[in-house]
Amino acid sequence: KAGVTQTPRYLIKTRGQQVTLSCSPISGHRSVSWYQQTPGQGLQFLFEYFSETQRNKGNFPGRFSGRQFSNSRSEMNVSTLELGDSALYLCASGLAGYLTDTQYFGPGTRLTVL
């Protein structure tokens, strides 16, 4: 089975712009979660989607949003980019969305905000 794929792998944007990141989960997986990784804050949970519904949300401002499509693919959007949004954004997929499910991570999208 193919793993979790994320596109694009690298992005460079300027402050004030918006960006959309894409994630395709492992075939058959219905849960998709997003995490932000920075040197200062480490790995932080953004949100989780299951069957096209956002089930959980982390402590991030409303500029961060996402959605999930009927084929389980997910997109994450960040509007009005700030320098502090520079990070590695990781997507993880899970089979059925249970707490005990293993979350399998993609390679990430490296976002640089100038």
| Residue 20 binds another protein (CB under 8 A) | no
CB half-sphere exposure, 108, CA atoms < 13 A: 13
| Residue 31 binds another protein (CB under 8 A) | yes
In whole angstroms, give the CA distance from residue 85 to residue 97.
27
| Residue 53 binds another protein (CB under 8 A) | no
Q: Mind giving me the DSSP string for 7-66? A: E-SEEEE-TT--EEEEEEPPTT--EEEEEEEETTTEEEEEEEEETTEEEEE-S--TTEEE
| Residue 60 binds another protein (CB under 8 A) | no
| Residue 25 binds another protein (CB under 8 A) | no
Residue closer to another protein, measured from CB, 43 or 114 = 43
Q: Which of 29, 85, 108, 111 binds another protein (CB under 8 A)?
A: 108
Q: How far from chain centre, in Å, is Cα 41?
A: 16
State the residues that interact with another protein by CB under 8 A. Answer: 4, 6, 31, 33, 35, 42-45, 48, 55-56, 58, 90, 92, 94, 97-108
